A and B are shown apart, each in its own frame.
Chain A
Amino acid sequence: MRINEHPIIDFDHSKKIHFTYNGKSMFGYEGDTIAAALFDNGIRYFSDSVIYKRPRGLYCAIGNCGSCNMQVNGEDNVKTCMTLLEENMEVISEISEDKDD
């Protein structure tokens, strides 16, 4: 959900940047971090907690908490809130598929 009208800020959402998330095509805008673009695409569940595999979402958005770490273009544990989105990026979540509970 982008903000279209704002009393103070003009947002430039003119240039689309395409990427894939877990194989699915999505787009964000120039200047977005990966996390911002994912959030705008409705993604809320970003990662699992280490031991109990509880769902974790974006929390701090400035590189402190590590909740948004994902695999980006083959590199593991990238802070998606600190990494700018680039055309044709391949983003894969590190959410585990088999869970005990």
Chain B
Amino acid sequence: MINRDLVIVGGGPAGLSAAKIAIDAGMKVTIVERFNQLGGQLIKQTHKFFGSQLQYAKTRGFDIANILIDDLAGYDNLEILLDATCVAMYPDKVLTIYQNNKYMKYKAKSVIIATGASEKFLAFENNDLPGIYGAGAVQTLMNIYGIKPGKEVVMIGSGNIGLIVSYQLIQAGVKVKALVEAASKVGGYLVHAAKLKRLGVDILLNTTVKKAIGKEKLEKVVTVKLDDNWQEIANTEKEIKTDALCISVGLSPLHQLMSMAGAKMLDVSELGGYVPKKSCDYETTIPNVYACGDVTGIEEASSAMVEGKITGLMAVKHLGFKLDNMEKLEADLNDQLCILRQGPCGEKIRCGLKKVGEIYD
């Protein structure tokens, strides 16, 4: 059994930000990351971030990942496990970690769950045909490996991810044949949608995909118009020839470890699915187990980084470690979150967070 003050599951923006605070306070920390490099989904984000300077606005996502990773260099109280999967967490904060065909047991005084989210799927006929991808997979192929996911792509979903990935596809030299959106207006920021319109992308509102056609891989998709009650309108089907269909219809939190350990979970649609009930100290119902980032509600990397710092700080505080100006830091971070979540764009998340008991305003 390996003993640690803190084990952080997930090496994305939330987990890395939490780690920085905890190691600065002198805690013995392990980060468990499933992939072969740190950074989470930031490593494939080629766009410049919005928001505040404090969360690296105007910096590209992959550059933010490098900043967060560099911040962790030179600490001998930090252990980073790559290609390592946390396969179990028990209520006494024992974690089973699988790496290099070996299972290891860690006993942690505190745990931060920063596992992120997985992509939601969409129900339609033949939705499992090869050639149908999650938007994240398309980004991975293009922006990490430099591979075009297809000659042509149809995108489903006009949230920010759908809009940004469509733009990135065009940058990579792929034709975006259509962007399909079931609602009557674009879901993401208009500035992203305007860019696509200028590039001649067909944005089909009140439209969904009815079925995919192909034998062992996608050849065509059939779209259909929807009425105000989300019902298909007869005789409005249209076939579009394409070798790739990209699904970007939202994310849901990767809650499994907390559910497994018996933390109280709530189903909150505004936050994307199952999320842990939390105290205002970001603690789940299991003492000294905290959660931050998308696993506590789907948002952006900007808020994940701030939440990461706050949970890091809570772990520091509850185990009796110290940092300079802790109280001021906590107040500043909470202010930063409020600013990120203000206005009409933050309404959904504010409403969801009220349901899980997080108080920030």
Report which of A1, A9, A59 forms a contact with B134, defined as CB distance below 8 A. Answer: A59
The CA of A64 and the CA of B119, in the complex, are separated in Å by 9
Min CB distance A33 to B, Å, is: 7
**Inter-chain contact A8/B60, CB cutoff 8 Å:** yes
Contacts of B254 in A (CB 8 A): 64
**Inter-chain contact A2/B146, CB cutoff 8 Å:** yes
**Inter-chain contact B118/A56, CB cutoff 8 Å:** no
Residue-by-residue, is A1-21 near B (CB-CB < 8 Å gives 1, otherwise 0)? Answer: 111011111010100000000
Answer whether residue A61 sits at the interface, using C-beta atoms and an 8 A cutoff.
yes
The CA of A3 and the CA of B169, in the complex, are separated in Å by 11
**Inter-chain contact A84/B171, CB cutoff 8 Å:** no
Min CB distance A56 to B, Å, is: 6
Min CB distance B248 to A, Å, is: 12
Task: Please count how many residues in chain A sit with their CB below 8 Å of the partner chain's CB atoms.
Answer: 34
Interface of B is mostly: loop
Among residues 137 to 189 in chain B, which have CB atoms less than 8 Å away from a CB atom of chain A?
Answer: 137, 140-149, 151, 171-173
**Inter-chain contact B172/A6, CB cutoff 8 Å:** yes
Contacts of A2 in B (CB 8 A): 146-148
Residue-by-residue, is B199-243 near A (CB-CB < 8 Å gives 1, otherwise 0)? Answer: 000000000000000001100000000000000000000000000
Residue of A nearest to B217 (CB): A44
Contacts of A33 in B (CB 8 A): 145
Answer whether residue B285 sits at the interface, using C-beta atoms and an 8 A cutoff.
no
Answer whether residue A46 sits at the interface, using C-beta atoms and an 8 A cutoff.
yes
Min CB distance A19 to B, Å, is: 15
The CA of A46 and the CA of B133, in the complex, are separated in Å by 13
Answer whether residue A26 sits at the interface, using C-beta atoms and an 8 A cutoff.
no
Residue of A nearest to B126 (CB): A54
Among residues 117 to 142 in chain B, which have CB atoms less than 8 Å away from a CB atom of chain A?
Answer: 118-119, 128-134, 136-137, 140-142
The CA of A82 and the CA of B137, in the complex, are separated in Å by 12
Contacts of B255 in A (CB 8 A): none
Contacts of B83 in A (CB 8 A): 82
The CA of A13 and the CA of B144, in the complex, are separated in Å by 12
Min CB distance B161 to A, Å, is: 14
**Inter-chain contact B142/A3, CB cutoff 8 Å:** yes
**Inter-chain contact B141/A44, CB cutoff 8 Å:** no
Answer whether residue B35 sits at the interface, using C-beta atoms and an 8 A cutoff.
yes
Would A1 and B147 be within 8 Å (CB), given that A36-B141, A44-B217, A59-B137 are in contact? yes
Contacts of B350 in A (CB 8 A): none
Min CB distance A55 to B, Å, is: 5
Min CB distance B108 to A, Å, is: 23
Residue of B nearest to A47 (CB): B130
Answer whether residue A63 sits at the interface, using C-beta atoms and an 8 A cutoff.
yes
Would A6 and B128 be within 8 Å (CB), given that A45-B216, A60-B118, A60-B134 are in contact? no
Contacts of B309 in A (CB 8 A): none
Contacts of B41 in A (CB 8 A): 62
The CA of A47 and the CA of B144, in the complex, are separated in Å by 23
The CA of A7 and the CA of B59, in the complex, are separated in Å by 16
Would A82 and B129 be within 8 Å (CB), given that A3-B173, A55-B217, A60-B119 are in contact? no
**Inter-chain contact A45/B142, CB cutoff 8 Å:** no
Would A36 and B217 be within 8 Å (CB), given that A6-B172, A55-B130, A58-B133 are in contact? no
Report which of B60, B118, B141, B146 forms a contact with A64, defined as CB distance below 8 A. Answer: B118
**Inter-chain contact B131/A57, CB cutoff 8 Å:** yes
9 further contact pairs, Cβ within 8 A, besides A36-B140, A45-B217, A61-B141: A44-B131, A44-B216, A45-B216, A54-B128, A57-B217, A58-B141, A60-B134, A61-B136, A63-B34
Give the 10 A-B CB pairs with smallest separation, nearest first. Answer: A57-B130, A11-B146, A61-B137, A36-B145, A44-B130, A61-B140, A1-B148, A44-B217, A64-B118, A3-B146
* Residues of B that sit less than 8 Å from A by CB: 34-36, 41, 46, 60, 83, 118-119, 128-134, 136-137, 140-149, 151, 171-173, 216-217, 254
* Residues of A that sit less than 8 Å from B by CB: 1-3, 5-9, 11, 13, 31-33, 36, 39-40, 44-46, 49, 54-64, 81-82, 84
9 A-B residue pairings within 8 Å (CB atoms): A3-B147, A36-B140, A39-B147, A54-B128, A55-B128, A60-B119, A63-B35, A64-B118, A64-B254
